[in-house]
């Protein structure tokens, strides 16, 4: 049923409120970020009936988007995307559900109809193509998606990891909504969790936000949205070394991790830093195991992790207890498995700290605009005061276990270290 009048809408809402449903938003322009476009059509499948709500489509009598909050379960292919359009609860991300069981995201590339393919190719420079693609063609595509989703739901629903489904996706959604201001206008990032290691990638519109070049000046275009604003970056010091120290119960002394390690190696700071990362991500020589108590514990942990992997169907993540199945890992060895574990530990610790941070900062004018592995970027309004930055720094440092360095600047390229201001 295509909902084009109040009578049909009331009938739809009655069924929608009482039944679990699959919801698929169809944006006006698939080439734009969900936060930079709007809903063209909304497809809803209640497992008994299917409905299309036309919001902005050229061949329909369009309706206003109704309040779709409901106590029943809602399934979708991309929870983050859906919540950029609609304020809903109880939404299960089926792509995430599939990823948790297979280690990969869903492949949707071959679900376009001939009409989708032709019109997108013929008018690739035109905006809002989905508004002119016939509704019935959108329906065909939605039905193909639903067949895929129903199969995943039926086979895997009992294994939904609610921490990932709710907490992690919502944290990333919060950052995306804030956007980044550039000299050319506002842009949005898009985090993708469906990677081999669980560490999110982040690219959209030809920009790889997770790997912005620090040397070529391309960061200069990222600026504050506030007249009296600056960009502030907080990045963890020796993050991976400290994360693993937490796991293997090794306590670093206060101060620099690399200076501490330099004492064992008998070398300077820079060489010690290079050696530590070399050992952490590669091979730990036996002589280092014997003289360095930290890497002795790391060596034992690598072997322990490898034994678990060889003797079990899965390994379990340290923080959110995500099960990573052996069947989904290829060409694995002890060091590669350990590297995967480090990246997953990094991601989950960042998500845990974001869950504490976001409720504390969401009502300020300043915005959290980017998260990249071991750093967080803020668009800071001076009116919020330095206490705001102190609060964030304290939360990120997690009772001092993970010290952060602080820098700021008028753009993302010209950043000055101001860590001493917080001592």
Q: What single string gives the DSSP state of each residue in 73-132?
A: -EEES-HHHHHHH---SSEEEHHHHHHHHHSS----TT---HHHHHHHHHTTTSS-GGGT
Q: pLDDT for 47-105, tens place per residue? A: 999 999 999 999 988 999 999 999 999 999 999 999 999 999 999 999 999 999 998 88
Q: pLDDT for 375-415, tens place per residue? A: 999 999 999 999 999 999 999 999 999 999 999 999 999 99
pLDDT of residue 139: 96
- For residue 136, the tally of other CB atoms under 10 A from its CB is 12
For strand 50-54 and strand 74-76, is the pairing parallel, antiparallel, or unpaired?
unpaired
Residue with tokens 């929870």: 79
CB of 65 closer than 8 Å to CB of 140? no
Tokens of 390: 């102190």
For domain 6-160, the question of CATH label 1.10.1040 is answered with no
Residue with tokens 């989905």: 130
Residue 249 phi, psi dihedral angles, 5° rounding: 65, 50
pLDDT of residue 421: 86
Give the separation between CA 234 and CA 226, rounded to whole angstroms. 19
The tens-digit pLDDT sequence of the chain (423 residues) is 999 999 999 999 999 999 999 999 999 999 999 999 999 999 999 999 999 999 999 998 899 999 999 999 999 999 999 999 999 999 999 999 999 999 888 988 788 899 888 888 888 889 999 999 999 999 999 999 999 999 999 998 888 889 999 999 999 999 999 999 999 999 999 999 999 888 999 999 999 999 999 999 999 999 999 999 999 999 999 999 999 999 999 999 988 999 999 999 999 999 999 999 999 999 999 999 999 999 999 999 999 999 999 999 999 998 999 989 999 988 999 999 999 999 999 999 999 999 999 999 999 999 999 999 999 999 999 999 999 999 999 999 999 999 999 999 999 999 999 999 887
Q: CA torsion, points 266, 267, 270, 274, in degrees to nearest 10?
A: -70
pLDDT of residue 140: 95
Residue 402 phi, psi dihedral angles, 5° rounding: -130, 80
CATH classification number, 162-423, choose in 3.40.50.720, 3.40.50.1100, 3.30.70.120, 3.30.70.370: 3.30.70.370
pTM (2 d.p.):
0.93
Give the separation between CA 95 and CA 223, rounded to whole angstroms. 34
DSSP secondary structure string for all residues of 252-308: PPSS-HHHHHHHHHTS-HHHHHHHHHHHHHS---HHHHHH-HHHHHHHHHHHHHHHH
Beta-carbon contacts of residue 319 (< 8 Å; ≥ 6 apart)? 345, 348, 349, 351, 352
Give the separation between CA 313 and CA 32, rounded to whole angstroms. 40
Which has the closest alpha carbon to 222: 29, 409, 32, 5?
409
Tokens of 17: 């409120």
For strand 314-316 and strand 180-182, is the pairing parallel, antiparallel, or unpaired?
unpaired
Domain limits, the chain: 6-160, 162-423
Decide whether 6-160 matches 162-423 in CATH topology: no
Give the separation between CA 407 and CA 232, rounded to whole angstroms. 6
> How many residues does the structure list for the chain?
423
CB of 106 closer than 8 Å to CB of 148? yes
Which has the closest alpha carbon to 347: 196, 123, 186, 153?
196
296 in the Ramachandran plot: left (φ > 0), alpha (ψ -120 to 50) or beta?
A: alpha
pLDDT of residue 98: 93
Tokens of 406: 């602080």
């Amino acid at each position: 049923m295509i909902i084009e009048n109040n009578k049909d809408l009331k009938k739809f809402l009655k069924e929608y409120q009482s039944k679990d449903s699959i919801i698929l938003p169809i944006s006006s322009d698939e080439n734009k970020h969900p936060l930079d476009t709007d809903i063209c059509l909304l497809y809803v499948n209640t497992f008994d009936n299917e409905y299309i709500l036309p919001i902005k489509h050229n061949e329909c009598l369009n309706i206003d988007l109704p309040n779709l909050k409901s106590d029943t379960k809602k399934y979708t292919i991309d929870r983050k995307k859906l919540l950029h359009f609609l304020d809903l609860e109880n939404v299960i991300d089926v792509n995430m559900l599939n990823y948790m069981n297979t280690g990969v995201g869903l492949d949707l590339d071959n679900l376009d109809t001939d009409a989708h393919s032709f019109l997108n190719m013929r008018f690739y420079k035109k905006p809002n193509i989905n508004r002119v693609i016939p509704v019935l063609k959108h329906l065909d595509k939605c039905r193909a998606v639903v067949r895929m989703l129903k199969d995943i739901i039926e086979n895997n629903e009992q294994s939904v990891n609610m921490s990932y489904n709710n907490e992690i996706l919502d944290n990333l959604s919060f950052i995306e909504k804030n956007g980044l201001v550039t000299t050319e206008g506002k842009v949005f990032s898009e985090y993708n969790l469906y990677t081999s290691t669980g560490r999110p990638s982040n690219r959209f519109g030809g920009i790889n936000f997770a790997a912005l070049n620090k040397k070529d000046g391309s960061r200069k275009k990222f600026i504050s949205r506030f007249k009296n604003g600056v960009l502030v970056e907080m990045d963890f010091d020796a993050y991976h070394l400290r994360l693993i120290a937490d796991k293997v119960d090794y306590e670093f002394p206060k101060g620099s991790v690399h200076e501490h390690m330099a004492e064992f190696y008998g070398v300077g700071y820079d060489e010690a830093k290079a050696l530590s990362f070399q050992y952490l991500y590669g091979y730990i020589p036996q002589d280092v195991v014997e003289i360095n108590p930290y890497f002795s514990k790391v060596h034992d942990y690598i072997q322990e992790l490898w034994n678990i992997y060889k003797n079990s169907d899965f390994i379990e993540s340290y923080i959110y207890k995500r099960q990573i199945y052996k069947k989904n890992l290829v060409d694995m060895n002890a060091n590669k498995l350990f590297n995967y574990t480090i990246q997953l530990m990094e991601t989950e610790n960042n998500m845990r700290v974001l869950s504490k941070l976001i409720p504390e900062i969401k009502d300020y004018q300043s915005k959290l605009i980017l998260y990249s592995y071991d750093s967080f970027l803020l668009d800071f309004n001076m009116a919020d005061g330095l206490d705001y930055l102190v609060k964030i720094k304290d939360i990120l440092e997690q009772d001092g276990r993970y010290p952060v360095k602080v820098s700021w600047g008028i753009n993302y390229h010209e950043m000055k270290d101001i860590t001493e201001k917080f001592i």
